[in-house]
Amino acid sequence: MKARLAIILCLLLLVFASCAYAQNEDNVRELFYQGNIYYSDNDLEEAINSYQKALNCGYESGALYYNLANAYFKNSGLGKAIIYYLRASRLTPNDPDIRSNLAHARSLIQGGMINPRSPWFMRFFLRFTNLFSLNRITSIAISLYLTLCVLIIIGIYLKRYRRFFTSIDIIIAIFLAISILVFGVKFKEQVIERHAIVIKQETDSRFEPLDNATTFFTLYEGEKVQVVTSNGEWFKIRRSDGKQGWVKRSDIELV
Amino acid sequence: MNMDIKNNYFAKTLLLVSCGIFLWVGLSLAQDIGFETRVDKNVSKVGSPIKLSLIFDGVQNMGAVDLPDIPHFTWRYLGPSTLMSMVNGQVTKSVTHAYLLMPTKTGKLEIPSLSIMYKGKAYSSKAIPVNIIPASSSQAQGQIRDSQPQQDADEELADKLFLTINLSKDTAYVNEKINAAIKLYISGVSIRDITFPFIENNAFLVDKFSQPKQYKEILNGITYNVIDFSTDIYGLYPGEFRLKPTEVNCNIITRRRSNNRRGSPFDDSFFNSNIFDNFFGQYEKYPTIVKSISVPISILTLPEYGRPGSFDGALGNFNFTLDVSPKDVQVGDPITLTMTVSGSGNFNTVNTPRLNFKNSFKTYEPEITQQPRLKTFKQVIVPRNHKITEIPPISFSFFNTITKTYKTITTTPVPIKVKPLEKGQELKVFEISKDFTDRIKRVETLGRDIVYVKDNPNGIYKTGALLCKNELLLIILFLPALAVILVIITQARKNYLAMDVPYARKLAAPRKAKKSLANLRNLINSKETSRFYDAVFKALQEYIGNKFHLSAAGITSDVIDELRARGIDNQVLDELKTCFDMCDRSRYAPSSIQEEEARKTLKMLEGIISKIERIKK
């Protein structure tokens, strides 16, 4: 009797949870469309408000980040626009619109992007990793891993086809190794390393986390930096050319 | 003696240092200072103050100056502010004394030139004209901005935001380059979304605007932020024209009031700021078109007199050079003529110089590249016969807009060597299709902007829901690997046992014995004691056969000698022999078996197996 009651309660909980999820998703959609209407009316501040409210519901989508980035871009918020284009590209890395807008936004960074040229194979590999979102490469790696396990077991029992299964196992193992490598790169980039974008038009990177410290170099709105550590109101950052300095927390925003 | 020398050296050094310090101080004191006056606006109303700043550059210890009586103004001192900056190791310092001037009369007034004395030297500033307009009735109630008449507002805006256009010349020839410097002056207003200037005129061709420059400029005592748009325009027809006012579209940004009152877009927050506006106000845009004045300009036709035959409309002051490569070729081989026109002028009017080669060369469409002060024509020509010895002279004519005369530059003949075709070779001169040349000619300049927003949110996920951070999934992922390991171990063991039969039998012996003992126990319990000793004998045969890898069928009590040789304990062997004897007796002299006896035999058998199992080897 008690077990039956527990099952009924669990089922009810599941139904309520799915209803709440659907309700929240509907809210997100409604705010998204509302934001689009404001955007088309050129009321960019209201469009930004609507998209932000949709994000505050605890849900995200590539299109939502993309539209918010567009609104910021049109509203002279280059730094914020780049942040949201990057977030959008994490969810939908293959979207050509996101890539195009991000490239255009980056082209407007004052003084241009500082991008040390890496070897061709690194550029090729990084371009390859950019084809996958973190969740997608995780799914691919898990699928390959499960397939490999099943084929190994079948190959052990079907001795007659052992050579055939070994060949397939090797191929799948190679793909699995590549997918794990890509996963590692994406995981490092999105989870381990903390990247940030400069949201102020211009900010000084100093030698020490002090207001009166000597300026080492100047960062411009939209530039991407890696956060190394923090100290109160200051972040220690590393620019793509390897130079490190301290900038105020309020001048940059984590991606 | 030594002390004297040391003292002397010290005194000399001290003297030199002292002289140096005095010289430096003297030079510093003798240094000139800068003095100028600025106002925050040139147009104001009666009762609305103007901020006058007296700026002293190069000095910071300059005290406040008592202003003389300024006609139609009353003044009040606001206070000083100092500035010190270091650029490239050079220190600059200044002090600014601010005053409030309250106009008491309307009309075009003037803040007169001010003179000061500093270190015995006189300095004076320039006079600043100001326009004082009448105040409205509500102004007296201190509500200047709310009920400001539109006309006043426009006048005040015109002072803060205006556009000027300056042409490099007011008379030019058709197609002659005229530089138009269009400057947008901004002071005291915040503007955004500035468009490039729009010059509407059918009689002129307007070139592409260059990247605007931004700098500060002081005009009538006011510091303006200037956006300098520069372009070139070209007259298309001769005649007297007025260049229509140039327009720039922009949005003036102002704060929206919390009580929904709308101020003019250029409200002065200095006197009317409300702290709550900063918290609850929002920005509001006022679309505005800023226009320049109309400018007269005369466009002349080019003179007919002295016009050379090779003139193709080029205007400016140019130089013309020719380069030929290669100079040693075979009939049918291509030669590239690089004709370069450099200098200043309208390069759009510079066309490919005419080549009068008749039939000696096959010519192709030239490849044209244009840079700011350079235009290059790369012309491929193919010699048709080996009798050609030179590239004939090429002429380029242009109208020099400085000297106002036509000029022709003719190159000298360039000697070349053309070898005849070898025997068996044929002259092949390729024609380029018109489509191909059309495609080359068409150079499109594409615009660039962001792609429009998306219509659908598509996949919506929980924020930050990463599959790789799902702990349950990570735990579950261990199971397949565990299964693979277990299968591999099991299979390996199975293979090993298949290879080593004695070991496999030895390993299976206790398990099988256990089964046989259970069977014996069942026989006792079911009172089927007649078959008991048969079963005991079989169990012993099977166990010993498996354990010592012997053929089970041939195992009798004779096996004891063999087991002794394998080092089995004598006591165990004795028990085994007793057991075999009991079996033989029962099998060959059948008699009824008591349950108790059967249990005793079973126990003995269990003991034998147990003892043999305990033997290590």
Tell whether B192 lies on the interface with A, counting CB pairs under 8 A. Answer: yes
Which tens digit of pLDDT belongs to each residue from A188-224?
A: 888 888 899 999 988 999 999 998 889 898 899 999 9
| Model pLDDT for residues B324-381, shown as the tens digit of each residue | 988 888 888 888 899 999 998 888 888 888 888 877 888 888 888 888 788 999 988 8
Q: Is B455 on the interface with A (CB under 8 A)?
A: yes
Does B542 or B258 have the greater pLDDT score?
Answer: B542
Answer for the pair B144, B28: CB distance below 8 angstroms, yes or no.
no
- With an 8 Å Cβ cutoff, is B483 touching chain A? yes
> Chain-wide mean pLDDT for chain B?
79
| φ, ψ (nearest 5 deg) of residue A71 | -65, -40
Residues from chain A contacting residue B466 (CB–CB below 8 Å): 134-135, 138, 191
* pLDDT at A142 exceeding the cut of 90: yes
Binning chain B into helix, strand and coil, the percentages to the nearest 5 are 30, 35, 35
The pLDDT of residue B147? 43
Residue in A closest to B465 by C-alpha: A135
Is beta strand B328-330 parallel, antiparallel or unpaired with respect to B417-419?
A: parallel
Give the model confidence (pLDDT) of B244-281 as tens digits: 888 888 888 876 554 444 444 444 443 344 444 444 44
A93: chain B residues, CB-CB within 8 Å:
none
**What pLDDT is attached to residue B274?**
43
State the pLDDT at residue B146.
42
Q: CB atoms < 10 A from the CB of A21, how many?
A: 13
CB B246 within 8 A of CB B291: yes
Residue B318 burial class via C-beta count within 10 angstroms: exposed 0-12, middle 13-18, buried 19 and up? buried
Radius of gyration of chain A (CA): 24
pLDDT category at A183 given cuts 50, 70, 90 is very high
| Architecture of the B34-135 domain | Sandwich (2.60)
Nearest to B467 among A28, A63, A138 (CB): A138
For residue B485, the SS3 value is helix
**What's the CATH number of domain B499-614, 1.10.150, 1.20.120, 1.10.287, 3.40.50?**
1.20.120
Of the candidates B449, B453, B483, which has its C-beta nearest A39's C-beta?
B453
ipTM over 0.95: no
Residue A29 Cα, gap to closest chain B Cα (Å): 7
Query: Does residue B421 have a pLDDT over 90?
Result: no
> Which residue in chain A is spatially nearest to B460 when comparing CA positions?
A61
pLDDT reading at B140 higher than 50: no
Check CB contact under 8 Å for A29 and B455. Answer: no
DSSP per-residue codes, chain A: -HHHHHHHHHHHHHHHHHHHHHHHHHHHHHHHHHHHHHHHTT-HHHHHHHHHHHHHTTEE-HHHHHHHHHHHHHTT-HHHHHHHHHHHHHH-TT-HHHHHHHHHHHHTSTT----PPPPHHHHHHHHHHTTS-HHHHHHHHHHHHHHHHHHHHHHHH-GGGHHHHHHHHHHHHHHHHHHHHHHHHHHIIIIISEEEEE-SSEEEEESSSSTTSPEEEEEETT-EEEEEEEETTEEEEE-TTS-EEEEEGGGEEE-
Per-residue b or e along A205-232, where b marks 16 or more CB atoms closer than 10 Å to that residue's CB:
bbeebeeeeeebeebbbbbbbbbeeeee
User: H-helix or E-strand containing B70?
Assistant: none
Q: What is the 3-state secondary structure (H, E, C) of B99-138?
A: EEEEECCCEEEEECCCEEEECCEEEECCCEEEEEECCCHH
pLDDT digits (tens, 9 = 90+) for B425-437: 665 655 556 665 6
The Cα A136–Cα A124 span in angstroms is 19
The predicted pLDDT at position B318 comes to: 92
User: Nearest CB to B467: which of A62, A70, A135?
Assistant: A135
Angle (CA) A59 A60 A66, round 5°: 150
Higher local confidence (pLDDT), B1 or B295: B295
- Tell me how many residue pairs between chain A and chain B have CB atoms under 8 A apart: 98
Q: Chain A contact for B429, CB < 8 A?
A: no
- The mean pLDDT of chain A is 87
Give the model confidence (pLDDT) of A34-76 as tens digits: 999 999 888 899 999 999 999 998 899 999 999 999 999 998 8
Would the pLDDT of B522 be above 80?
yes
pLDDT at B497: 87
Residues B48-70 have a mean pLDDT of: 83
Tokens 């700021």 sit on residue: B273
Q: Are B274 and B301 in contact (CB under 8 A)?
A: no
Output the pLDDT for position B596.
82
Which pLDDT score is estimated for A46? 92
Select the residue of B448, B454, B462 nearest A59 (Cβ to Cβ). B462
Beta bridge partners of B48: none
What is the distance in angstroms between the Cα of A143 and the nearest Cα belonging to chain B? 11
Instruction: Check CB contact of B486 with chain A, cutoff 8 Å.
Output: no
> CA separation (Å) from B189 to B12, B41, B251, B285, B391?
62, 11, 10, 12, 64
3-state secondary structure of B441: helix
Distances (CA, A) of B71 to B40, B98, B110: 19, 19, 8
Bridge partners, residue A3, by sequence: none
Q: Of the candidates B451, B453, B455, which has its C-beta nearest A100's C-beta?
A: B451
The answer to whether A54 and A32 are in contact (CB under 8 A) is: yes
Task: Tell which of B468, B477, B491, B493 to mutate to test the A interface (max A CBs under 10 Å).
Answer: B468
The residue count for chain B:
617
Q: Which residue has the tokens 């030179």?
A: B390
Helix (H, G, I), strand (E, B) or coil at B13: helix
Q: Among B451, B432, B454, which residue's Cα sits nearest to residue B441?
A: B432
pLDDT of residue A236: 94
Determine how β-strand B222-235 pairs with β-strand B239-243: unpaired
pLDDT of residue B133: 83
Residues 6+ apart with CB under 8 A from B90: none
Is there a contact between A101 and B450 if contact means CB atoms under 8 Å apart?
A: yes
Any A CB within 8 A of B466 CB: yes
Q: Is residue B489 within 8 angstroms of chain A, CB to CB?
A: no
| CA of B474 vs chain A CAs: smallest distance (Å) | 10
Nearest by CB to B456, from A63, A76, A152: name it.
A63
At residue B143, the pLDDT reads 39
pLDDT-derived band of residue B595, with 50, 70 and 90 as boundaries? confident
Q: B12 or B5: which carries more pLDDT confidence? A: B12
Give this prediction's pTM: 0.44
Q: So what CATH class is B318-441?
A: mainly beta
Q: Would you call B460 and A76 a contact, using CB atoms and an 8 Å cutoff?
A: no
